Structure 1
């Protein structure tokens, strides 16, 4: 099923190549007629010889004009059809009865050429004029059934050939148009690293080229198929999750094979597949699914229609090509996101690194200023961590660092952020949190740390180190992020100087 689109056109050079064999054959026939006319005895047939030469000149002119855009104008096409139709019709009067077959051949050739260079309407105009002009010369022949059959056969054959050529041209045009679509989609998709934009491009492409009632792209997540893009009969159902097992989509993904079901009214023999209705409460009667498979992508791209036999092999080929490009684009997007994520994370603990945390803190401070809400900052340091490393080894020290990060993340919200400031020192931003709220969070982090259990390489439990923390609030105590960090850092060292394992300043320092 295809949406209506302007047909792609062949270049003039291509048309010339298509019709060159017929052009050469026609020139040979006309040259033969000239030789026949000149050699006729007792007197040469000069009108026929002149007419043959005129025909050769006409064909050469048309062949040259094909390279000019003006010839593709409707007026020139009409003139060409009229000249060809009248010319071949007049030729009927100049040929003897024994050369009638030549007229039949020229009728067929002219219709084929006209169909190729101008189209159906102009080919039939040529055919009509040939019949109209030649009919008076053939009236005596039309008195018998055999004569009627002999006269009409070339025209009927020409119509059949013209229709076949038109269908071949349309198929070629559609194929060219599909290739253009694939090239355009490929360029656009490869220029984006945004998943939503990739789905939007796919959505537009299917809408423009395939008349599907339903289409979706599903990605396997947690044992189910998540429909990232799902269109059904004029409505979107994006984000739905459907079962993997027992569905056509699951079969395509599991077997990594294309599935083309032109008529679902017939029994489908696929192991473990049941009918499963999603979207609107209607059953599809045509279905195509192609697998999507890459290192970071496993899924399916599918089309469906409520009509049987709605899709053909050309639709299948287009969907396969789209699937390949979408798979590559999604995989590249995920790879890029992974690289970006790794670039902003500390390689050992998985929290934000120093540079990215500063960038994020600046954005949070800007948002806090815009919304006139507080932003609290906690600087945290593990007490006596160097001695701890020296005593229990760096392996245990690394476990402590990761355990601390887990303890922090369990006590903060998703909108909050934690970063590794350096060594055993960490920094926590709390958008919207007041000083007292930050103090309670810091206290919970310390309590969580004390409850942890860490073992050395011999599976022996080792004591957990304590942490010291300093708090500062934006914009009450500092209206610039580096000054805010400096305040929190100084308070951290005050906490260390006062004996460690505490939060500075105390909760009573902050007023609600």
Structure 2
């Protein structure tokens, strides 16, 4: 029994030790597997986090590259805009103070060639009287080429461009379509209307011997230049109109005394320089105060205007008539000798005397007295020319009015 009990006890101990040992091994294995699983999960999480961070970095890098490209494009656009602004500012300074249209368009043509870089630049203006386009300024100097342009500038394609206010951009020129380009090897051209909101002045034609020489950016820039020039041209026209209005007598519509003095000075210099005669006529309406007192100032104004119209109708384009003051008028007759002036004025005197002035129930005729002098038969200076003509007028009044008297010649007896 003891032996059996001892064996049982030993077996129990062995069993216990085996269970404890193998149980520990199993526990360690379970713990190791659990630890491995935990580490793996931690690694997976860290890997996913790194992947996410990598994707985020890639996105940020892509955005940075995109921003860099955009910044580079913006810098290029800004640089281009600054250069464009500087060029336009220079153009404005160059043309802004020019009030002479001829000089303005000549300067514009030079600027276009420098800025756009074409082979040829031509400014075309529209003549309202003839209803046709005309070449105003161009750098085409060959007589044959210039004749081709002028003869064909009124082609339908250019007239349509002008009338519709549209532009032409052509980088593969067909000579049959653009006949004005024949003979100059033109392969590219652009044509921009020269207009403002209220006026159509003409066209700017830029040509190049190279193909594909122009693009829409060239067109856009040239349009801006054309708009600026159109405004300057409009201002120049307004300035000339204002200047012309300042020269005109408001009542009669002929030149005033101030302009007469300017014109006398310039005409006298030309006569001296070129050695031709210059005659001066001073006349006034006889008994004008009587008409004013009898019929009133309104009818007196009508007499002044009517007599001025009669005189203007007989003058040449080179002649100048002005109201000198009150009822007194002056006429400049370039390249006209004293005898020729006398004959012309005598005819004029008769026309005035035979002219009937009517206003409602009033119907009258007036006469005028004339004094005539001439450079260099009667005077050698401007002042002497005016003085001697005025003296001759005084003699005409003293002789009974309604007559023509000439100044005393310097070397001969008077007329």
TM-score (norm 1): 0.57
Alignment of 1:463-482 (within 5 A): 463-482=364-383
User: 2-side partners of 1:350 and 1:312: how far apart?
Assistant: 51
| Equivalent position to 2:391, from 490, 493, 508 | 490
Larger radius of gyration: 2
Secondary structure of the corresponding residue to residue 303 of structure 1: strand
After superposition, give the CA deviation of every residue in 1:330-359 in whole Å (9 maximum; x if it has no partner).
111111112222222212223221122123
The equivalent residue for 1:17 is none
1:467 Cα deviation from its structure 2 partner:
1.5
| Equivalent position to 2:88, from 153, 159, 182 | 182
The equivalent residue for 1:326 is 229
- Asked if 1:253 corresponds to 2:162, the answer is yes
- Asked if 1:383 corresponds to 2:286, the answer is yes
After superposition, give the CA deviation of every residue in 1:81-122 in whole Å (9 maximum; x if it has no partner).
xxxxxxxxxxxxxxxxxx9xx9xx99xx9x99xxx9xxxxxx
The equivalent residue for 2:32 is none
1:307 Cα deviation from its structure 2 partner:
5.1
- Name stretches of at least 5 consecutive residues in structure 2 with no aligned partner: 1-53
User: 1-side partners of 2:142 and 2:373: how far apart?
Assistant: 53
Secondary structure of the corresponding residue to residue 326 of structure 1: helix
The equivalent residue for 1:45 is none
Alignment of 1:391-430 (within 5 A): 391=294, 394-430=297-333
User: 2-side partners of 1:454 and 1:295: how far apart?
Assistant: 41
1:373 Cα deviation from its structure 2 partner:
4.1
The equivalent residue for 2:118 is 212
Residue 177 and residue 484 in structure 1: after superposition, are their counterparts in 2 closer, same or farther (change >3 A)? Answer: same
1:178 Cα deviation from its structure 2 partner:
2.8
- Asked if 1:227 corresponds to 2:135, the answer is yes
Residue 213 and residue 448 in structure 1: after superposition, are their counterparts in 2 closer, same or farther (change >3 A)? Answer: farther
After superposition, give the CA deviation of every residue in 1:375-426 in whole Å (9 maximum; x if it has no partner).
3221111122233345555555444433433433344443332221111210
Secondary structure of the corresponding residue to residue 278 of structure 1: helix
Alignment of 1:131-280 (within 5 A): 173-221=79-127, 222=129, 223-232=131-140, 237=146, 240=150, 247-263=156-172, 275=177, 277-278=179-180, 280=182
After superposition, give the CA deviation of every residue in 1:269-303 in whole Å (9 maximum; x if it has no partner).
xxxxx946336456765433234125565323233
User: 2-side partners of 1:277 and 1:386: how far apart?
Assistant: 67
The equivalent residue for 2:256 is 353
User: 2-side partners of 1:177 and 1:208: how far apart?
Assistant: 14
- Which segment is superposed worse, 370-379 or 204-213? 370-379
After superposition, give the CA deviation of every residue in 1:50-77 in whole Å (9 maximum; x if it has no partner).
xxxxxxxxxxxxxxxxxxxxxxxxxxxx
- Which segment is superposed worse, 397-406 or 428-437? 397-406
User: 2-side partners of 1:350 and 1:372: how far apart?
Assistant: 32
Q: How many residues were matched structurally?
A: 352
User: 2-side partners of 1:265 and 1:279: how far apart?
Assistant: 9
User: 1-side partners of 2:321 and 2:192: how far apart?
Assistant: 44
The equivalent residue for 1:144 is none
After superposition, give the CA deviation of every residue in 1:139-198 in whole Å (9 maximum; x if it has no partner).
xxxxxxxxxxxxxxxxxxxxxx8xx99998777655443332111001111122222221
